Amino acid sequence: MTYTDVFPNELDIHRRAGAVLIDVREPDEYALGHVPGALNLPLSALQGRETEVPGGAVLICASGNRSSQAAAYLAGLGHQKLKNLMGGTFGWMREGRDLATGDRP
């Protein structure tokens, strides 16, 4: 099983198609700024909560490293059509896109 990398400029396409956005950073990182609409499920808490990640989800972190680890782990468990946001939140910001702050999507 594998996952697909997507670029920040492609994220809206996946969101419109119904993809759930999941930020795998720690809660304090998430609260400082995240892609609007992303839910927080830290990589450190993922084991045992895998069922909370639906097929087709887009996984996000700061740079794309942790989210690719999460995507590979979940794909190995049989999750389908997962995506990893290349460049993560930093890539999102580099394109001039806004972030949401706080502990809510």
Residues annotated catalytic, as ranges? 61
DSSP 13: H
What whole-number distance in Å separates Cα of residue 62 and Cα of residue 66?
Answer: 8
State the pLDDT at residue 71.
97
Token digits for 45? 């808490």
**Long-range interactions of 9-18: CB distance < 8 A, separation 24+:** 9/95, 11/35, 11/58, 11/85, 11/92, 14/56, 14/58, 14/83, 15/58, 17/56, 18/56
pLDDT band at 1 (very low <50, low <70, confident <90, very high): low
The answer to whether the predicted template modeling score (pTM) of the entire model surpasses 0.75 is yes
Only one residue has tokens 């419109």, namely 16
State the pLDDT at residue 99.
97
